[in-house]
Amino acid sequence: MNSLRKSVLITGCSAGGIGGALADAFHAKGYHVFATARNPSKLPPSLSSAANVTVLKLDVLSTESIAAAVESVKSQTGGGLDVLVNNSGGGYTLPALDVSIEESKKLFELNFWAPLTMLQAFAPLLIKTKGCIYFEIRDFIHGLVDGRMQENGISAKQYATKVVGEVEKGTGGVVWAGKDASILRLLSWLLSQSVFDMVVQSVIPIAREMAKATRRKLA
């Protein structure tokens, strides 16, 4: 491939999700996209047939699968990777007394150890290109993006465009995207982390009213 073309690997690129939308957005910006999924047949057809898109079967819970993906990327990029997007993940919400401990352990494996394993495996490639990592796994954030948790949520495509734009600009730190992003950003500054987490996972209109009240006090 052209060594001047930037590259990105995205996990969890199934059709209709944020991973697929991110893959489309990076591809539109001229990146060589490594679109991955445990079942590649679930990827959007537009990605599977596009130029400069490499479809890889990747199970983020398998060290062997991750190692194979690393070798595939190295062979096509000359040993580097510009962007790693850890998008794979899951959610499991039940009262504490009702949760399955085994299922909870599996979820922790998927949402914590898997992204860390990916980071360790791809770190040499990212360091070589001075690349960056985007880590997005929490299901409730996905809900805020696609509208499942609020009527005014932005679409996966809009969210992907925002993220890719920030990556292109080399933005560091936390990227805030979405209709209520400014409200949540204000709350994250004013509230403790534990209180902020409860607000984010509750009804968004409550957060909006809290932010309005805070602004009135600060005025």
| 3 state SS for the chain | CCCCCCEEEECCCCCCCHHHHHHHHHHHCCCEEEEEECCHHHCCHHHHCCCCEEEEECCCCCHHHHHHHHHHHHHHHCCCCCEEEECCCCCCCCCHHHCCHHHHHHHHHHHHHHHHHHHHHHHHHHHHHCCEEEECCCHHHHHHHHCCCCCCCCCHHHHHHHHHHHHHHCCCCCCCCCCCHHHHHHHHHHCCHHHHHHHHHCCHHHHHHHHHHHHHHHC
Query: Percentage of the chain surpassing pLDDT 90?
Result: 41
Helix axes 139-146, 193-201, angle to 10 degrees: 50
53-57 and 132-135: which strand pairing?
unpaired
Q: Would you call 188 exposed, middle or buried from its count of C-beta atoms within 10 A (0-12, 13-18, 19+)?
A: middle
For the segment 141-163, what is each residue's pLDDT rounded down to a tens digit? Answer: 444 444 444 555 567 777 777 77
| Across 67-72, average pLDDT | 98
Phi-psi region of 79 (alpha: psi -120 to 50; beta: other; left: phi over 0): left
Confidence at residue 79, expressed as pLDDT on a 0 to 100 scale: 94
**Is pLDDT larger for residue 197 or for residue 51?**
51
For residue 70, pLDDT over 80 is answered with yes
| Across 160-178, average pLDDT | 68
**Is pLDDT larger for residue 97 or for residue 35?**
35
Confidence at residue 122, expressed as pLDDT on a 0 to 100 scale: 95
Q: Confidence class of residue 121 from pLDDT cuts 50, 70 and 90?
A: very high
Average pLDDT along the chain: 77
Q: Which of the four CATH numbers 3.40.640.10, 3.40.50.720, 3.40.50.11310, 3.30.1700.10 does domain 7-178 have? A: 3.40.50.720
Q: Where are the domains of the chain?
A: 7-178, 180-219
For the four alpha carbons of 84, 183, 89 and 143, in that order, the dihedral sign comes to negative
**Is pLDDT larger for residue 111 or for residue 166?**
111
For residue 68, pLDDT over 90 is answered with yes
For the segment 7-62, what is each residue's pLDDT rounded down to a tens digit? Answer: 999 999 988 888 999 999 999 999 999 999 999 999 988 888 899 999 999 999 99
| Across 88-95, average pLDDT | 81
For residue 140, pLDDT over 60 is answered with no
For the segment 78-90, what is each residue's pLDDT rounded down to a tens digit? Answer: 999 999 999 888 8
Q: CA–CA separation, 70 vs 147, rounded Å?
A: 34
